[in-house]
Amino acid sequence: MKKHVLRPLWVAIFLVGSILIARVFLVPDDFGVHGDSFTYNFYRLSNVQEWKDFPAKYTSEKRCRRCHDENAGLLRESKHAKLRCQNCHGPGAGHPKEIERLSINTTRDHCLRCHQRLAYPSSQRADLPGIDGAKHKKKKECRKCHNPHHPDLEDM
Amino acid sequence: MSCSRREFLKNTMAGAVAAAMPACSVILLAPGEAKAMTDGSKLRWAFLVDTEKCVGCGLCVDACKTENEIPYDAPVSRTWVERYVITKDGETHIDSPKAGRDGFTTGEIRGEEIDPEDIDKAFFVPKLCNQCDNPPCVQVCPVGATYQTDDGVVLVDRKWCIGCGYCVMACPYGVRFFHPIHKTAEKCNFCYHRITDGKQAACVQACPFEARKMGNLRDPEDPVTKVISNERVQVLKDEYGTKPHVFYLGLDEKVR
């Protein structure tokens, strides 16, 4: 064969060869098809475990009740029974060991998530007791008058 | 070689039948479908959203952002809550301020005050990744950085993702975005670290109204599976053929 054909051919073969060799070192052993479908199951298997090891921030309600049974019990008997501890008290994993105090959300805006009156037909939002946040005791935190663990207008 | 007319016709018929047989047996069951019918995986996660119960408090979005380390003030979120207000003049007003993270604390929609008298219907619709059976986002990934696990959840490999953004464009539900810190594709994964550890997903646990639930479709006794198989549920954008696995109760035709 002529030189001008052979030269670029050797270059091409060298390039393809070096890419194939590099691939052996760069692609992890567990990368490949793990399942029925080449389209959907082509991945690095160890990534599944990496996701499983992602740290959880929220703990279980049961764990809250182990120490804070008084407030949790009061809440369960009240109109706020549906609420979860961590809705207001924030994520509790690592408490009390690593995180000594949880940051409690006591803002008006937090209460208004549910209690800002929005008269929406066909939505349960309309059935919740609501106020107009822009008018009702504008500058005060709700908990100054209403007990979040036992909200009852008659008990105030 | 001699061949009578009778023999010729007989052979032709037999040949046609023989050719048709294996063809139809292949068409009836693809290998994946056959496997699903015989043994297959014992677990297929599905999500159930009851839009009748959602009040738009946004506690799910708040919990999701914290649990999954999505920067709190960045304008991205793995899940979000949309508000639909349909007025008597036939207009549909939709908004989702800050993905609904702080709830809906005003009647104003996109700077427009709507008179409650004018409202025909109004409701909230939580949205998240549909963990499709035919995920278009996975099909388009050029490097195999996103994939479907054997329990049906679509995950993103942050180490492998090159950030090309094809998957962000491919998702018909718009659930994918770039993580502002990792600079890789990001999306809801049903809190994979929680559900595989026997915990509830962060949004499911945070919802005080039980508008969000999760279950195993392969378990006929699962309460969520019972609702999905016995009640009238809907999925989003069924016509795309993605086979989404987030099912909605009480969805309105205006929801897109």
Which pLDDT tens digit goes with each residue over A100-143?
Answer: 999 999 999 999 999 999 989 888 999 999 999 999 998 899 99
Residue among B57, B64, B140, B151 with most chain A CBs within 10 A, to mutate: B57
For residues B193-212, average pLDDT: 96
Q: Which of A120, A132, A142 to mutate to test the interface with B (most CBs of B within 10 A)?
A: A120
Please report where in the chains the tokens 């098809």 appear, as a residue.
Answer: A33
Give the pLDDT of residue B99. Answer: 96
Residue B39 reports pLDDT greater than 70? no
Q: In the predicted model, is pLDDT for residue A74 greater than 60?
A: yes
Q: Which of B186, B164, B190 is nearest to B175 (CA)?
A: B186
- % residues pLDDT > 90 (chain B): 83
Whether residue A85 is predicted with pLDDT greater than 90 in this model: the reply is yes
- Interchain contact, A86 vs B199, CB within 8 Å: no
Question: If one looks up domain B42-256 in CATH, what number appears?
Answer: 3.30.70.20
Mean pLDDT of A49-77: 93
Residue B190's region, left for phi above 0, alpha for psi from -120 to 50, else beta, is left
Contact A113/B66, CB-based, under 8 Å? no
Q: Nearest-CA neighbor of A54 among B45, B197, B205? A: B197
Residues of chain B found within 8 Å of residue A54, distances taken between Cβ atoms: 68, 192-193
Residue B38 pLDDT > 50: no
Q: B35: pLDDT confidence band, cut at 50, 70 and 90?
A: very low
SS3 A31: strand
User: What is the rounded distance in angstroms from the CA atom of residue B246 to the CA atom of residue B217?
Assistant: 11
Q: Does A39 touch chain B (CB under 8 A)?
A: yes
The pair of structure tokens assigned to B201 is: 């997903």
- B144 touches A: beta carbon within 8 Å: yes
